[in-house]
Amino acid sequence: MSTLFIGYGNPDRQDDGVAWHVLTGIAQELGAEPSSSWEDPLPSTPEADFAFHLQLTPELAEDITAYDRVCFVDAHTGNIPENVQVVDVTPEYQTSPFTHHLTPEMLLSMGQELYQKTPEAILVSVRGYEFGFKTELSPFTSSLVTEAVERTVGWLKAEEF
């Protein structure tokens, strides 16, 4: 099965950039040498392709429909009880009061509507604690990266997450 990992967030806002660290960890677990900066392309492996973006955009709808499975990775701010949450994502039309906010559900919905294809999808959400103007993760969020990587690699290898 073809798999795409899409991480998104702002690495210049501390824990908001945790997705890049998770993608880098997954790439390393799969034997790839990750890039040293979020601005550089992430490596592809025989098991998966990787992409990191500051935010989800409508143009990604076509990209995701080229895959059988997609894993979205993002930070959350504590409105989710688990520190690392893995949930199935299904297409759902959603409106947003923000002009620059697109959810994985809405992106899947766009792909379904425009390209008649919906990949299997999950969202891995990692708790962020600090969102200052720094490029380093907070100690708490940094400690969650390993769990997020392990659970995501387990999903990739069709193990229980």
Q: Is the pLDDT of residue 160 over 50?
A: no
Q: What is the DSSP string of the chain?
A: --EEEEEES-GGGGGGGHHHHHHHHHHHHTT----SSTTSPPPP-SS-EEEEESS--TTHHHHHTTSSEEEEEEEE-SSSSSSEEEEE--------SSTT---HHHHHHHHHHHHS---EEEEEEEE----SS-SSPPHHHHTTHHHHHHHHHHHHTT---
pLDDT tens-digit series, residues 66-110: 999 999 999 998 788 899 999 999 988 866 555 557 899 999 999
Q: What per-residue confidence (pLDDT) applies to 36?
A: 84
Single pTM value for the model:
0.92
Within a domain: residue 58?
Answer: yes
Q: Is the pLDDT of residue 128 over 80?
A: yes
- Give the chain's domain count: 1
Q: What per-residue confidence (pLDDT) applies to 159?
A: 54
d(CA 135, CA 112): 36
Share of the chain above pLDDT 70, in %: 94
- Domain region containing 152: 3-156
How far is residue 122 from each of residues 39, 40, 151, measured CA to CA in Å?
24, 24, 11
d(CA 95, CA 97): 7
Q: What per-residue confidence (pLDDT) applies to 161?
A: 47
Q: What per-residue confidence (pLDDT) applies to 130?
A: 93
Q: What rounded mean pLDDT belongs to the chain?
A: 91
Q: Is the pLDDT of residue 51 over 80?
A: yes
Q: What per-residue confidence (pLDDT) applies to 98?
A: 56
For residue 119, what is the domain's CATH number? 3.40.50.1450
Backbone angles phi, psi at 144, to 5 degrees: -90, -10
pLDDT tens-digit series, residues 11-28: 999 999 999 999 999 999
- Measured from the Cβ of residue 2, the count of other Cβ atoms closer than 10 Å reads 12
Within a domain: residue 161?
Answer: no
Within a domain: residue 148?
Answer: yes
